[in-house]
Structure 1
């Protein structure tokens, strides 16, 4: 090897710094605009926007975070099996949210799901009255629920990265110590990255434990945090303690997918 040529790790570190700077700017911009942004869902039907619809409706329904994550996962799995042009993506999204409430033992009343979904699609509209439109939409959700169940072969209980992340974060907290750990919002940012990654179909492409590690490692890179007693000495990386088979290349691949999810967000919005 030419001594003047950068090693793969050096190249990776340089690339990492560039994309992390971009990611930090994207998140800062997104967070600053979040409260003032009102999405007009009638003007888009891509998977990112439909996933955002699930999250918005889920928050309005006060659904548990795992319920919302389940709904987003079911949505992506459904359209991985079926043609997106052949179905009303927002009907499927609302139905996934309703079904996820059952799956995660966080029941959401079908009437509440209908009214929240309708009002989110049609801003400022009144709650649905008990008329033809109400019963038509209710029947559509019931039929869509059966369709989703059949399309997914009744396998509607996904394994989430959340429980792995909780375990890993607790272990890291013990390694850092309470004082050092409290200096950085590692847990909050890792969970935020995981939540955002559910907007992308790539959430289906990797095992949940690897996704959890990637979100945490990306957070550590964003804040420039070094894991004590691991990265500072000539030992295995911290993530190999939890997954011996995980390579740096594979970890980088997943982190790139997480960062790429922010590029999928459409620019067109109504304020």
Structure 2
């Protein structure tokens, strides 16, 4: 197992650019009304993985690894040509093995059926045969190219905050790369940011939330961790008050006091943390960190329209509806229509055009959207413009192409 992020397959093969991700969704874009619907699917699938992982009693790190596996699989596949639900189960099954927390395949199948059949999803077609999941496991590992080592931002967060002792899993070598290929560490590494338990937990929850987007495919984990700390310093009430007090203390003139020989060093007050100096001293591009932070805020803005209870370990509540309303400019009122059919391709406004993409989105709607996408894709494959049916089994196509 690789212990250095910079020598790992994660860094060398699975940090992608936006053009690659856009190309991966070309087929799916043909069967949605708005590209934004694919962003809602990212939230939908991550929520499913989270729920299934909790039912299987998997650690947060294992759930994060399963989510990364799912994202990587769909870099090479499309939603409209596969069954994402069995892929989700296979990702949890393989991630549990990769993170040395194995779960029996029967438990994965049983819990998957329980989660998917809930009213908000209404998925009744999940197979009961364990062999189907075992077969999907081989397809998944093949598309992952056997790259099962995944690095996460959690270790970086604990390292920067001086909490290595409480980190459950230590990842050696996951250090930040410098600007212009400078030293692969954040400054000298001598300073640590002392966050209280509340702000530290908030930063951890923000990292959890980033897996509901494709940030894990676009940026190294240490940058995501720094962006989570950056947002925590801005949005958390305690840390924001600390920053304001430090700014006032630095601008105020220092009072003149007489030195006393009887004053012991042990009674001296501890100097306040220079949080701004700490962030400025990190050997990373702060403009890139700010870009990641803006994308996280954009994720929360989108997530506000996804009507499903927020996860218990989520930083979403810290932003609130007011934050998303401010970023949008105006506050949206709740639609009066049935949310289960919002944004459907069959739903037309009075002018004969599809409904505007600003409505509430629910898991029921996204389940129906996936079914429509798959049906339309199968119809196009069976009756293409060329008149010759196209093979749906991509694994068979690869085998035939290889001879």
| Fold conserved between structures, TM > 0.5 | yes
Deviation at 1:261, TM superposition (A): 2.0
What's the C-alpha RMSD, in Å, of the aligned pairs? Answer: 2.6
Aligned pair in 2 of structure 1 residues 245, 133: CA closer, same or farther (>3 Å)? closer
- Tell me by how many angstroms 1:208 deviates: 0.6
Is the aligned partner of 1:120 residue 2:115?
Answer: yes
- 1:45, 1:89 within 8 Å by CA — same for their partners in 2? no
1:164/1:45 Cα in 2 relative to 1: closer, same or farther (>3 Å)? closer
1:196 maps onto 2:246 in alignment: no
Q: Does structure 1 residue 134 correspond to structure 2 residue 128?
A: yes
Q: Give distance in 1, aligned partners of 2:76 and 2:296.
A: 22
Work out the CA distance in 2 between the residues paired with 1:85 and 1:133.
19
Task: State the Cα deviation string for residues 182-219 of structure 1 (Å, max 9, x = none).
Answer: 4x611110111000111111221101111111111111
Structure 1 residue aligned with 2:222: 209
Matched position secondary structure for 2:161: helix
d(CA) in 2 for partners of 1:86, 1:264 = 26
Structure 2 residues not aligned, in runs of 5+: 1-38, 120-125, 165-190, 247-271, 307-360, 365-403
Q: Which residue of 2 aligns with 1:163?
A: 155
SS class of match (1:107) = coil
Distance, in Å, in 1 between the alignment partners of 2:284 and 2:128 is: 52
Query: Counterpart of 1:221?
Result: 234
Are the aligned partners of 1:239 and 1:246 in contact in 2 as well (CA < 8 Å)?
no
1:258 to 1:45, Cα distance in 2 relative to 1, 3 A: closer
Q: Tell me which of 140, 146, 165 is aligned to 1:148.
A: 140
Select which of 274, 289, 311 maps to 1:230. Answer: 274
Task: Give the whole-Å Cα distance in 2 for the aligned partners of 1:186 and 1:117.
Answer: 34
Deviation at 1:257, TM superposition (A): 1.5
TM-score, normalised by the number of residues in structure 1: 0.69
Aligned partner of residue 133 in structure 2, secondary structure: helix
Structure 1's unaligned 5+ residue stretches are 1-43, 125-131
Which of these residues, 51, 59, 77, is aligned with residue 56 of structure 1?
51
1:45 Cα deviation after fit:
8.5
CA distance in 2, matches of 1:106, 1:120: 20
Q: Name the TM-score, length of structure 2 as normaliser.
A: 0.47
Structure 1 residue runs of 4+, over 6 Å off?
A: none
> 2:75 is paired with a residue of what secondary structure?
helix
Q: Is the 8 A contact 1:70 1:100 kept in 2?
A: yes
- 1:171, CA displacement in angstroms? 6.8
Larger Rg: 2
* Separation (CA, whole Å) in 1 of partners of 2:233 and 2:205: 13
Task: Tell me how far apart the structure 2 counterparts of residues 144 and 77 of structure 1 sit (CA, whole Å).
Answer: 15
Measure how far apart 1:152 and its partner are: 1.3
Residues of 2 paired with 1:213 and 1:170: CA distance? 14
Q: Are positions 1:268 and 2:372 aligned together?
A: no
CA contact 1:240–1:246 (8 Å) conserved in 2: no
Residues paired across the two proteins, number: 207
Paired residues of 1:48 and 1:264 also in contact (CA < 8 A) = no
Change (3 A) 1:114 1:53: same
Does residue 288 of structure 2 align to residue 250 of structure 1?
A: yes
Compare relative contact order (CA 8 Å, sep 6+) and give the higher one, 1 or 2.
1
SS of the equivalent of 1:158 reads coil
